[in-house]
Every structure is written in structure tokens, then in C-alpha cells.
Amino acid sequence: MSFELPDLPYAYDALAPYMSAETLEYHHDKHHQAYVTNGNNLLKGSEWEGKSLEEIVKGSFGKNAGLFNNAGQHYNHLHFWNWMKPGGGGNKLPGKLAKAVDADLGGYDGFRKAFIEAGTGQFGSGWAWLAVSGGKLSVMKTPNGENPLVHGATPILGVDVWEHSYYIDYRNARPKYLEAFVDSLINWDYVEQLFEKAAG
């Protein structure tokens, strides 16, 4: 199965002022497209040709750095576009997810603080995550194209902290970008869908 770039699930200007059309044009049309193109070139003739994206991400980790970086970033960005929506964010979590966040992370405020700290504390390029492992929620951070899948957990929310995700709108103010993501962009319904799948 070769990789394909999906359309954004909203208009390029739909997330403004928190994420501009210019950021989304570069991030989706140039950066994500490059992961798709490079990933397809590296997949061709490899032992992972014909496997699912998750199998490629897990299988190539630690074995084929070039393929892993591009496949991992393709996986991360496929979800990232859906982890945001116009009018999203804030503390209105769907019921089951809210219960789990209360039990495992000390409630919404605990989640918000830990998630923003993870994104701020990731040195250099990477991602901050809300992930499920053994039925429990945890906040994680990973470098470059890595994600919780290669650390035995299932990602249900992630935020891209590569500079290409925020530099046009926030310059070097990564914490301001993370606050805007949490307070105004998160698509909690999509997070809940992934949570129900991961928690069984």
C-alpha cells in the first residue's frame, strides 16, 4: 500500500487565528507531501512494501531510519490534521474520555499542564502525546518522527512541535502555540474515537 496525501478535513483558513492558512499550506502541501513522496520511494522494493502503515512504522523503527522517519511522520500528520478543528479545544471532553483523564491525569487541568510541559520540554523537533497503554492514559514526548506506537502505547492525541508547525504564526514562542492548540484547536471527538478503539 503506497502512501497518499489526504486533503485537509477543513479549509486552509479554518483554524485562523490560531493556525494560519500560510502555516497549513506549507505544513500540509510541502512538509507532509515530502514525507509521502520520500516514504513511497523508500518503501519500493523494501520488505515492508504491501504492509499497513502501522506495520511499516513499527517494523522499520530501529532497522531502516530513512523509511521510519518518513512513514512515522506520515502516520503522525494523518492524525494531526484530524486532531484539530475550528472551534475546538478547552475542557469539554466527551464522557468516557473525561472519566479517564480524571482518573489517570488528575483531571483536565492536570492533562493541560502535563501536555504543554511535554511539548515545551521536547528539545528540538518532535511531538507531545496523550497515549493509552494497558488501559491507562499517559502524557509522553518523542523526538523527530517517533510516536508512542514504537514505545508500546497507542497515541490518541499528538501535537507537532517541529518549528514548521508554529514559526510562521508564533515565531519562537512554542508555549503560546501549545496553549492555543489545547485551548482552541483540539478535536476531542476524534480523540474520543481513538480512545474507545485503543481502550477496547
> Which CB, 162 or 177, lies closer to Mn ion?
162
Give the C-alpha separation, 20 to 168, whole Å.
Answer: 8
> Which CB, 26 or 108, lies closer to Mn ion?
26
> Closest distance between Mn ion and the C-beta of residue 111, in Å?
22
Provide the 8-state DSSP code for 176. Answer: H
Helix (H, G, I), strand (E, B) or coil at 156: strand
Count of chain residues binding Mn ion (CB under 5 A): 2
Provide the 8-state DSSP code for 128. Answer: E
> Closest distance between Mn ion and the C-beta of residue 115, in Å?
17
Q: Which residues contact 106 (CB under 8 A, 6 or more apart)?
A: none
Is 51 in contact with 1 (CB distance < 8 Å)? yes
Can you read off the three cell numbers belonging to residue 24?
Answer: 497549513
Site for Mn ion in 143-172 (CB under 5 A): 160, 162
> Closest distance between Mn ion and the C-beta of residue 58, in Å?
20
> Which CB, 19 or 67, lies closer to Mn ion?
19
Site for Mn ion in 20-79 (CB under 5 A): none
> Closest distance between Mn ion and the C-beta of residue 135, in Å?
29
Give residue 110's identity as a one-letter amino acid code. G
Can you give the binding site for Mn ion, defined by CB under 5 A? 160, 162
